[in-house]
Amino acid sequence: MADIEGTHETKEFYLDVPAKNRAFFLKGSGALDWGLQNRLARIFSPASGKTVMLAIDHGYFQGPTTGLERVDVNIVPLAPYADALMLTRGILRSTIPSSCRNAIVLRASGGPSILKELSNEQIALDIEDAVRLNACAVAVQVFVGGEFETQSIHNLTRLVDAGNRYGVAVLGVTAVGKTLTRDAKYLRLACRICAELGAHVVKTYFCPEGFETVAASCPVPLVMAGGKKLPELDALKMASNAVEQGASGVDMGRNIFQSDAPTAMIQAVGKVVHEGLKPEHAYDFYQTLKNEKKVETLAGR
């Protein structure tokens, strides 16, 4: 029997304080269930409404690409500076410490390697394994205009059904193949299709002209993909422009892990995304951290 001795008789019900109805902080996500919102609030910082997601899933079709040869050596030290890690379940189980605090976004589509037609993907992960791995979201590539367009969209819709059943978010990733353009007209089409078909978050590339229309016409949070390696200042400018024009953060890979100083770069990206620091100032911050590291290395620390 519960010990009820000493229970206070006086109670305070705050009758003059109306219960608060809090709106969820992410665009287009107010009608989602508690578990889904809670998982999204682990990917996106409730303070800034933004995310720095570190994409390291390239191996699922490219093998050990430059910078990802040894995830244990090169990537694990970056994790504390990322809100979320986007990766495969193989790398997660084999290499990422289970004590990590990051939100996990699991790659859930795959099949062809770089030697074959990339749009020929299928679902490559059971939603129950995503739940077992405490994933906040699963990511699926959508090849609008690609050879296997319908199949990739079917992958998305199957995962959305499974994700809604278990409260796991789905990140629709708009792929751009060799023949697909990256202009605003194409990106608006691809992003909107992902959102209309149920993606909770959409990832897409930045385009210099009209990105704000891509973000505005996507009813759910949009995160910017990094793309090929750029000089650090250019990558910071791109991230800054994307966020200023409506992106809810970034999902960057090569521009972080292929940087001359990845730990400095991910922190500089964080300054741009979460604090709105101007890219030139974030670049100074990057240089300072990079030089400090150089001094430490020379001193053998």
For residue 48, what are the contacts with CB-CB under 8 A and spacing of at least 6? 273, 274, 275
> Of the listed pieces 119-127, 142-150, 183-191, 221-229, which binds ligand 5RP according to CB under 6 A?
221-229
Please report whether residue 121 would count as binding ligand 5RP according to CB under 6 A.
no
Given phi > 0 = left and psi -120 to 50 = alpha, else beta, which region is 227? left
Residue of 20, 178, 203, 278 with catalytic role: 203
The residue (of 23 and 115) whose beta carbon lies closer to ligand 5RP is: 115
Please report whether residue 254 would count as binding ligand 5RP according to CB under 6 A.
yes
Phi first, then psi, for residue 211 (nearest 5°) are -60, -30
Please report whether residue 227 would count as binding ligand 5RP according to CB under 6 A.
yes
Please report whether residue 173 would count as binding ligand 5RP according to CB under 6 A.
yes
> Which of 52, 162, 199, 252 lies at the binding interface for ligand 5RP (CB under 6 A)?
252
Please report whether residue 87 would count as binding ligand 5RP according to CB under 6 A.
no
The residue (of 86 and 277) whose beta carbon lies closer to ligand 5RP is: 86
Annotated catalytic, 203? yes
Please report whether residue 86 would count as binding ligand 5RP according to CB under 6 A.
yes
> Which of 40, 44, 57, 155 lies at the binding interface for ligand 5RP (CB under 6 A)?
57
Residues that bind ligand 5RP (CB under 6 A): 55, 57-58, 86, 141, 173, 175, 225-227, 252-255
- So which residues are the catalytic ones? 203
